[in-house]
């Protein structure tokens, strides 16, 4: 027998705090409905706000018209498979695969939001930018990443589109000028992006974990230093000798002894595992939001599933090295592929909110990003359709 854990209406008092004594009394059964995919499904009704919902409301396959095995989809995503490959293997359309990836990315956001609260933070941080391609080669993508120096835990990242630089032919320069006349990247995008990254880092509870002094390693890019100087929190810590920023030349050998090894390692993993980032690949992201969804899924895989070292006999994840209890990690993984997460139950940073709501701007894209009905704010009278 299925019992709904809470009311799915975020405006209802039963959405967050269902008292133990009212665990099974806050709702009433409200008949059934049938679908080709699931057959007969039980409906429920909240006694407080009167909205109707079903067992399927709490499933990862809510609103789904087709089912695929999400465990297999995750394996494909971290094994350089593109949409066409996955579409052929699963026997479904490109749109269905994109829809399932979107669902999986929100699950990844939910798990990361919960489990990062248990990270010990007792290690230096390493940050750098990873460059890829979005839309075309005249709009390079820059993903600033923050990684733990010892655990290699992938803490956070964000995105910005940058201007293409380097040696160009006359035709390439003319093409770039044409594209920039339509949509031009922010010339200070890297600085602003890194500033957002360190602000998200500042949201972590350093005082509770008592990790001062903080140490951050980056390469010698000027935008990083300017962003740190412009951040009041880190400037105050630096003046009190509670924060140290060390710069390392990016031309140093990329060995295990290089302080920038964690971000160099992540760069290699991206190039090796994600189809659109493989060197000289014909695959590239056509939509920035889709690209970030796949990156969040890879963050989840890297932190909570991937083994730290292949040659180690013991199965240790990067999350375990960062202080996340292994039992807690397993409890979230057990529900990852089945139970839907709700944004109203999460504490997302700005990059995660942008991914959840598909808020990134894709160059040259004229259409607005499509948001499912359940993500849009709805009047109370329409919550019945939203939850069904």
- pLDDT tens-digit readout, 294-306: 999 999 999 999 9
The residues, any chain, with a CB within 8 Å of residue 247's CB and separated by 6 or more, are 217, 218, 219, 220, 224, 225
Give the C-alpha separation, 335 to 357, whole Å. Answer: 23
Q: How far is CA 305 from CA 71, 274, 283, 317, in A?
A: 12, 16, 25, 6
β 243-247/214-218 pair status: parallel
Closest CA to 326 of 315, 313, 341: 315
Q: Convert the pLDDT of each residue in 209-260 to its tens digit.
A: 566 688 999 999 999 999 898 888 888 888 888 889 999 998 899 899 999 9
Q: What are phi and psi of 264, to 5 degrees?
A: -65, -40
pLDDT tier at 360 (50, 70, 90 boundaries)?
Answer: very high
Determine whether domain 115-160+189-326 maps to CATH 3.30.420.10: yes
Secondary structure (DSSP) of 96-138: HHHHHHHHHHHHHHHHHHHHGGG----S-EEEEEEEEEESEEE
Cβ atoms of 275 and 76 closer than 8 Å: no
Mean predicted lDDT score pLDDT of the chain: 87
Domain with CATH 3.30.420.10 in the chain: 115-160+189-326
pLDDT the model gives residue 282: 78
Pairing of strands 52-54, 39-46: antiparallel
Question: ω before 338 within 30° of 0 (cis)?
Answer: no
Confidence of residue 384 (pLDDT cuts 50, 70, 90): very low
């Amino acid at each position: 027998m299925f019992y709904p854990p809470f009311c799915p209406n975020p405006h209802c008092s039963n959405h967050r705090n269902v008292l133990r004594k009212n665990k099974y009394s806050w709702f009433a059964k409200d008949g059934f409905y049938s679908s080709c995919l699931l057959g007969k499904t039980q409906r429920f009704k909240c006694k407080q706000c009167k909205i109707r919902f079903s067992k399927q409301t709490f499933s990862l396959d809510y609103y789904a018209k087709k089912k695929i095995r999400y465990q297999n989809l995750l394996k494909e995503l971290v094994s350089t498979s593109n949409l066409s490959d996955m579409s052929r293997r699963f026997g479904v359309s490109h749109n269905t695969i994109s829809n399932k990836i979107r669902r999986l990315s929100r699950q990844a956001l939910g798990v990361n939001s919960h489990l990062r609260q248990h990270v010990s933070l007792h290690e230096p941080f390493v940050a750098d930018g990873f460059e890829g391609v979005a839309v075309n080669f005249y709009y390079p993508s820059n993903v600033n990443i923050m990684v733990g120096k010892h655990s290699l835990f992938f803490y956070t990242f964000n995105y910005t589109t940058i201007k293409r630089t380097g040696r160009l032919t006359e035709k390439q320069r003319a093409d770039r000028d044409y594209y920039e006349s339509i949509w031009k990247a922010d010339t200070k995008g890297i600085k602003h992006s890194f500033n957002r990254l360190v602000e998200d880092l500042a949201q972590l509870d350093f005082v509770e974990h008592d990790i001062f002094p903080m140490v951050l390693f980056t390469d010698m890019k000027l935008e990083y230093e300017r962003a740190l100087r412009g951040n009041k929190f880190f400037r105050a810590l630096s003046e009190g000798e509670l924060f140290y920023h060390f710069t390392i030349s990016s031309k140093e050998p990329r060995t295990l002894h290089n302080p920038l090894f964690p971000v160099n390692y992540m760069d290699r993993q991206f190039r090796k595992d994600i189809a659109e980032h493989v060197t000289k690949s014909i695959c590239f992201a056509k939509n920035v939001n889709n690209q970030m969804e796949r990156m969040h899924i890879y963050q989840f895989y890297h932190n909570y599933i991937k083994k730290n070292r292949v040659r180690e006999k013991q199965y240790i994840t990067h999350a375990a090295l960062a202080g996340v209890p292994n039992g807690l990690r397993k409890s979230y993984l057990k529900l990852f592929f089945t139970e839907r997460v709700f944004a109203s139950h999460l504490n997302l940073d700005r990059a995660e909110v942008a991914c959840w709501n598909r808020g990134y701007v894709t160059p040259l894209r004229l259409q607005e990003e499509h948001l499912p009905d359940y993500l849009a704010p709805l009047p109370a009278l329409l919550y019945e359709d939203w939850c069904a």
